Structure 1
Amino acid sequence: MKTLIAALTLVIGFASASFTQTAQAASADALNGICENVAADNKSRFRKKLKESGMKLRDIYTGISCGGENLVRYAMTNKAETVGSYIVKRMPASHFAASGDLDWANTSGHANSSIATSIASR
């Protein structure tokens, strides 16, 4: 009986691990094109990609980088004001207090962007 329980536990453990990897791969496929939509300043396609993935922006934000930068900095670099402002509105204000994105914007010449203004107002 103990062997049966141990075997079932092992099978369930492997099944859940493979499901997690499959779910992560599926969500990565669904999120392909996020960086392109940010660079193109296409808010509707950006939102559509998020909706298709079934994830919230705040849940995946830290895991996504475009060109080695987070989404907000990438939006500022590409002058994607609409998408960048949308991202700032969707993220918690506490995130930007600790992220240093506003300081980065001020030192890299993006202090006058609407994205930096949105961060500062939060």
Structure 2
Amino acid sequence: MYKVVTTTITAGLVALAASVASVQPAQAQDLALNLCTYVQGDDRMRMRQRMREDRIRLRSVYDGIVCNGMSLLQFAMANDSQDIGSFIVSQLPGSSLDGNGDLDWAEANGHGDSEIANAIRERTD
């Protein structure tokens, strides 16, 4: 059974995506939906390929993408997508991971001992 992925995209992502890689707002919505789908399916290779094609860095768009009301890392933990979650952690600066609240969310929601939460701890120490 497949779960339906609902994606919310902020105006900041649309503006950022349009300025970073000449991506139009409609393409930014499509990009966000694809990234959420890749996270849900734990498909790191397709995520990397899509970002390479659109010439977008994850750190540039991470804050603007929300999947079912969660950040990409929270969504990865909720869907047990350890591989792509660890990849996302490796692509974000430690300072960003330190202040975004994903680790606090993980501990509050029973994911504090996950591979992703441990990767966040390693990057922020």
Q: TM-score range by the shorter chain?
A: 0.7 to 0.9
Partner residue in 1 for 2:88? 87
How many residues are matched?
Answer: 104
* 1:97 positional shift: 1.0
Partner residue in 2 for 1:99? 100
TM-score by length of structure 1 reads: 0.77
RMSD of the alignment, in Å? 2.0
Residue 73 of structure 1: SS of its match in structure 2? helix
Distance 1:104 1:22, change over 3 A: closer
For the pair shown, the structure with the greater C-alpha radius of gyration is 1
Letter matched to residue 114 of structure 1? E
Letter matched to residue 60 of structure 2? D
Distance 1:89 1:112 in 2: 18
Once the two structures are superposed, residues 1-23 of structure 1 have per-residue CA deviations (whole angstroms, 9 ceiling, x without a partner) of xxxxxxxxxxxxxxxxxx86973
Unaligned runs of 5+ in 1: 1-18
1:108 correspondence with 2:109? yes
Distance 1:72 1:112 in 2: 14
Distance 2:110 2:58 in 1: 26
* 1:30 positional shift: 4.3
Larger helix share, 1 or 2: 1
Partner residue in 2 for 1:119? 120
Distance 1:47 1:112, change over 3 A: same
Runs (4+) off by over 6 Å: 19-22
Greater relative contact order, per chain length (Cα 8 Å cut-off, separation 6+): 2
Name the % identity. 37
Once the two structures are superposed, residues 45-73 of structure 1 have per-residue CA deviations (whole angstroms, 9 ceiling, x without a partner) of 11111112211101111111111111000
Letter matched to residue 25 of structure 1? A
Partner residue in 1 for 2:57? 56
Larger strand share, 1 or 2: 2
Distance 2:37 2:53 in 1: 16
Distance 1:22 1:74, change over 3 A: closer
Contact 1:27 1:53 (C-alpha < 8 Å) held by counterparts: no
Unaligned runs of 5+ in 2: 1-17
